[in-house]
């Protein structure tokens, strides 16, 4: 038995070796080097300067604006996405006419390329786009949607529209794993729909909910592609995100600010994910 396990372990390590080596060369080692560069005064052979780069970064108005916009986007977009996708999942979990067609319609944005998605939104919200054409036909003035405070709402809507199908699938899987007997027993005992929602559905859906929130938060930090293609390098102040700041620091060859900003962002994500996993673990222990 021990000989077989050794052979199996050796085979598993052999198959995993190419992925582990690739991950180390292209992800782990550059990330660790980036953290080191954030504590030096220049890229090659720089002297150690401690937290000076981080202090300079936090004093930067551009960084504070980008961080504030990113946090605002996450705080607005993630709850809206969770509530909307959960509501649709609960709706499509019932016997509805054309239910399979509706499921397919919400899944389509997942397989559409980002460039095509951005093109659709540009056609609709551009200065000469469809929405302004409708406003002009109604005798209203045109609005430069991407150069106004409406731009944040547009990015949030795009984020929700792009990710709602994936979250809906996860919630549907969680809803269908809840035994129907629980609802039948609750109805017999006189529990209404609201009591069933909070007492059964949300309780047994909590592990799925934690995972969906986690994935949604991570995806909210990846909205740079859409924003960049939609508004360019230097968009309107309201949608100037952390990824814009780091991208501009890269083109300016300010590697110290770039790596310091990336380290801070990764640290915030790690703290958030660790806190959510700890809460989810404690909830699971209480359920058991």
Write out pLDDT tens, residues 108-126. 777 777 778 888 888 888 8
Residue that the structure tokens 């469809």 belong to: 130
For residue 87, is pLDDT > 70? yes
For residue 4, is pLDDT > 60? no
Q: Averaged over 159-166, what is the pLDDT?
A: 87
What Cα–Cα distance (Å) separates residue 286 from each residue in 198, 203, 211? 17, 12, 18
pLDDT of residue 283: 74
Least confident of 14-28, 155-169, 219-233: 219-233
Residues 242 and 67: beta-carbon distance below 8 Å: yes
Residues 92 and 99: beta-carbon distance below 8 Å: yes
pLDDT of residue 84: 92
Residues 287 and 273: beta-carbon distance below 8 Å: no
pLDDT of residue 2: 60
Say which residues have a Cβ less than 8 Å from residue 286's Cβ, sequence separation at least 6. Answer: none
pLDDT of residue 183: 79
State how far the Cα of 237 lies from the Cα of 253, in Å rounded to an integer. 22
Architecture of 52-287 per CATH? Orthogonal Bundle (1.10)
Q: Averaged over 147-157, what is the pLDDT?
A: 86
What Cα–Cα distance (Å) separates residue 262 from each residue in 32, 51, 265? 11, 14, 5
For residue 279, is pLDDT > 90? no
pLDDT of residue 3: 63
pLDDT of residue 83: 92
pLDDT of residue 1: 55
For residue 96, is pLDDT > 70? no
Q: Averaged over 94-121, what is the pLDDT?
A: 75
Higher-scoring residue by pLDDT: 104, 208: 208
- Mean per-residue pLDDT over the chain, rounded: 83
pLDDT level of residue 288 (50, 70, 90 thresholds): low
pLDDT level of residue 80 (50, 70, 90 thresholds): very high
Residues 154 and 146: beta-carbon distance below 8 Å: yes
pLDDT of residue 172: 87
3-state SS, residue 48: strand
Q: Averaged over 218-247, what is the pLDDT?
A: 82
Residue that the structure tokens 């980036």 belong to: 34
Of the candidates 262, 264, 247, 255, the residue with the CA atom closest to the CA atom of residue 44: 255
Q: Which two tokens stand for residue 73?
A: 């986007």
Least confident of 40-44, 122-126, 203-207: 40-44
For residue 12, is pLDDT > 90? no
Q: What is the pLDDT of residues 238-265, one digit of tens each?
A: 888 888 888 888 888 888 888 888 888 8
Q: Where are the alpha helices (DSSP H) in the chain?
A: 2-23, 29-37, 52-58, 61-92, 99-111, 114-125, 130-137, 150-176, 180-188, 193-196, 202-204, 206-220, 224-231, 242-251, 255-287
Q: Which two tokens stand for residue 267?
A: 């640290």
State how far the Cα of 109 lies from the Cα of 151, in Å rounded to an integer. 21
Residues 171 and 208: beta-carbon distance below 8 Å: yes
pLDDT of residue 81: 92
Residue boundaries of the structural domains of the chain: 1-37, 52-287
């Amino acid at each position: 038995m021990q000989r077989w396990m050794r052979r199996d372990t050796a085979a598993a390590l052999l198959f995993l070796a190419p992925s582990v080596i690739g991950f180390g060369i292209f992800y782990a080692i550059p990330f660790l080097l980036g953290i080191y560069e954030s504590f030096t005064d220049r890229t090659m052979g720089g002297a150690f300067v401690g937290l000076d780069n981080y202090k300079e970064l936090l004093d930067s108005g551009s960084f504070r604006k980008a961080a504030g916009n990113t946090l605002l986007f996450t705080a607005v977009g993630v709850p809206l996405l969770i509530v909307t996708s959960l509501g649709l999942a609960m709706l499509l979990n019932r016997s509805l006419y054309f239910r399979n067609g509706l499921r397919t319609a919400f899944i389509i944005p997942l397989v559409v390329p980002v460039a095509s998605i951005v093109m659709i939104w540009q056609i609709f919200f551009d200065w000469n786009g469809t929405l302004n054409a409708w406003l002009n036909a109604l005798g209203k003035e045109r609005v430069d949607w991407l150069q106004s405070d409406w731009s944040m709402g547009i990015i949030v809507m795009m984020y929700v529209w792009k990710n709602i199908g994936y979250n809906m699938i996860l919630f549907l899987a969680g809803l269908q794993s809840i035994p129907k007997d629980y609802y039948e027993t609750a109805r017999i005992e006189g529990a209404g729909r609201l009591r069933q929602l909070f007492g059964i559905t949300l309780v047994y859906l909590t592990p799925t909910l934690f995972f969906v929130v986690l994935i949604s938060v991570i995806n909210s930090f990846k909205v740079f592609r859409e924003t960049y293609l939609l508004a360019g390098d230097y968009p309107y102040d309201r949608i100037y995100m952390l990824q814009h700041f780091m991208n501009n620091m890269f083109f300016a060859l300010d590697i110290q600010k770039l790596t310091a900003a990336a380290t801070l962002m990764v640290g915030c994500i790690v703290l958030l994910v660790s806190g959510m996993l700890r809460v989810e673990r404690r909830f699971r222990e209480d359920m058991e």
